[in-house]
Structure 1
């Protein structure tokens, strides 16, 4: 017996957007990192644009697919790096869900990006402390990592804002 699942236009859109985010993730992993674990999070630009144009549910799918597919392609699936990435993405998505309904006057793509970057960092630090390195010395890394989250969150938010200004307000029907 052959089972066929219908593929919708939204499925295709999610796959296309996830592949775009995945491409940015793979490109970013080819770049040298100034500090271990500090990355600009370029794929988050895609997540921010998707959040604005298609909503939280589609953004969650794009983010989850990017994390899982990226870890498979990079050979880190189910490793500590995967867990850190997954928990960071989950924390960022939860923060975006909490801030999405807030007034757009104060919570646009830049604010969402910075909040998501700090949530990502917080989730990852929690996993590191609770699972990998239960040492109070981790607190000494917070200022540097928070500074990176602020800078990269702001830059990614500005890039997402620029993209959103150039994209049509409503997605084209598929």
Structure 2
């Protein structure tokens, strides 16, 4: 059984964990960039399609892979879009960290715990919650911002379930696909 430090060292995996992380990150970054070109439904509100890749990474390869994909997606996307250290970057990073903070303990729940839809829903709600707290504490310290919370949480609920269903469909297809 690998030690905790060996489990976090994806490059040491015999199946090329680092290459897998790079491919998944490239897919997540591509989805993020495509999504950034679309007009938002509400200011700052996007469906979070890149999070589908994070949920697939979590379901297929574990938390360490999901964390690497999520955090690298934020960094690489910010570099490519020119938003590094901008408010957009800090909101994206806080959302990713919030999601990871709820996904880590959720994976250890007894029994079956959560599936892709449950993980996606938890991550989406944590993402919007962390972004909202960051926006309020760092950027907009005005009580009127609380009027945005109900529609943002409703959108997180909708997109979290939708993205989770897509991740579930992908994971089901990957499990039934023949291994090379």
Residue 99, structure 1, aligned to residue 129, structure 2: no
**After the TM superposition, which parts of structure 1 deviate over 2 Å for at least 4 consecutive aligned residues?**
103-106, 168-173
> Unpaired segments of 5 or more residues in structure 1?
1-6
Higher relative contact order (CA 8 A, sep 6+): 1
User: Residue 134 of structure 2 aligns with which residue?
Assistant: 127
* Structure 2: distance between partners of 1:127 and 1:37: 13
Secondary structure, counterpart of 1:168 in structure 2? helix
Structure 1 contact 53–170 (Cα < 8 Å) conserved: no
* Contact in 2 for aligned 1:118/1:146 (Cα 8 Å): yes
Tell me the TM-score normalised to structure 1 length: 0.90
**Distance between the aligned counterparts of 2:178 and 2:58, measured in 1?**
12
Q: How does 1:1-174 map to 2 (within 5 A)?
A: 9-103=16-110, 105=112, 107-168=114-175
Q: Is the 8 A contact 2:52 2:166 kept in 1?
A: yes
- How many residue pairs match? The answer is 167
Summarize deviations over 1:35-77 as a string: whole Å, max 9, x none.
1110000010000010011110111001111000001111100
* CA drift at 1:107: 1.3
C-alpha contact 1:91 1:123 (8 A) present in aligned 2: yes
| Displacement after TM superposition at 1:24 (Å) | 0.5
TM-score by length of 2: 0.87
Q: Deviations over 1:123-159 (max 9, x none)?
A: 1111111111111222111110011000000000000
Cα distance between partner residues in 2 of 1:165 and 1:111 = 15
SS at match of 2:175: coil
* Equivalent pair of 2:107/2:113 in contact (CA under 8 Å): no
List gaps (5 residues or longer) in structure 2.
1-10
The Cα RMSD (Å) is 1.9
